[in-house]
Structures are given as structure tokens and as C-alpha cells.
Amino acid sequence: MLRQAWNRLAHKQWLIFYPIALSVISTMAFLAVYSAAGGPIRWSMFFASNFERWQFVRDEFFSGFSFTPALGVAVFALLAGMTLTAAIVVLLWPYSPVAALLTLTGLYGVMAVYLYRRLTGILHDWQNLPATLDQLKKDRACLEKDLA
């Protein structure tokens, strides 16, 4: 089965060459930009620019990232959902692929409706800055008392 998929991919669709062409084009563009600067192209410039790029990514995105219990719960929920999906597919696929996909569609649909109703219920009762509104009412009452 993998051989058939590989033959189809490599011989009929030519998609196998897309990542190779993309990497060659990006390397050529990188070299063109640095050669346009007028200096000789050295490997040290390539490695220095790569290091600076990853240093920027680390400083801007990963420095404020911390592993909290909420992140652990989210990762666990993601893994549990993926495991449940895989288990349903493995159990139902031999009987009928359509039944497996319909079961997953129904399960995800029920979950979506449940989460939608729960979140809209939470948003319905939500008040923006309730303490601030109470403070504004007190200030208004005090101003009306002082101005009257």
C-alpha cells in the first residue's frame, strides 16, 4: 500500500519535487541577497545570520513562555482527544470507513454544540468590570448628593 502511494506521488503528481525546489529557491535567494551586499560570500555569514534569527525567535517568543499547570491540562486534553480519535478509527475502520467517519463527525458535532452552549451561557452572565460599575454608581450617588 505504501509502495502504491509512493508511486502515485512520485510518478503522477510530481509533488515530491516541491520541497526540494523550495529549498533550492530559498537558498539561492539567500545567497543572492548576501552577494548583493558586495562582499564575498562566506559560510560564517550564513551561520551567523541563522544564529541571529533563532536568537530573535528565542528572545521574542520563547522567553516569556512557561510551563504552567493549565498548559499541562491543555496538552493532556489534546493527547486524550487524539487517542480517542485514533481508537475509534482503529475499532470501526475494518467494519466500515464511512461508519468510522460518521461516528467521529457525530462525536465532534455533539462536543461542539455542548461547548457552544456552555460558552454562550457563560458569556450571557458575564459583566465587564462589575466592581467598576458599582464604583461608578457610588460616585454618581455621591455627586448627586454633593450637587443637590
Q: Which three cell numbers stand for residue 124?
A: 450571557
Q: Which three cell numbers stand for residue 77?
A: 486534553
> pTM for the complete prediction?
0.43
Contact by Cβ (8 Å): 127, 133: yes
Residue 56's Cβ-side half-sphere holds a number of Cα atoms within 13 Å equal to: 6
Q: How far is CA 15 from CA 4, 24, 39, 49, in A?
A: 15, 15, 37, 30
Per-residue pLDDT of the chain (148 residues; tens, 9 = 90+): 666 766 665 555 565 667 777 777 877 777 777 667 666 666 565 566 666 667 777 777 766 667 778 878 888 999 999 999 999 999 998 899 899 999 999 999 999 999 999 988 888 777 666 677 778 888 888 888 888 7
Contact by Cβ (8 Å): 130, 115: no
Burial class (CB in 10 A: 0-12, 13-18, 19+), 88: middle
Distance of alpha carbon 116 from the chain centroid: 20
CB atoms within 10 A of CB 147: 6
For the chain, give every domain's residue range. Answer: 1-65, 69-148
- Which 8-state DSSP code applies to residue 59? I
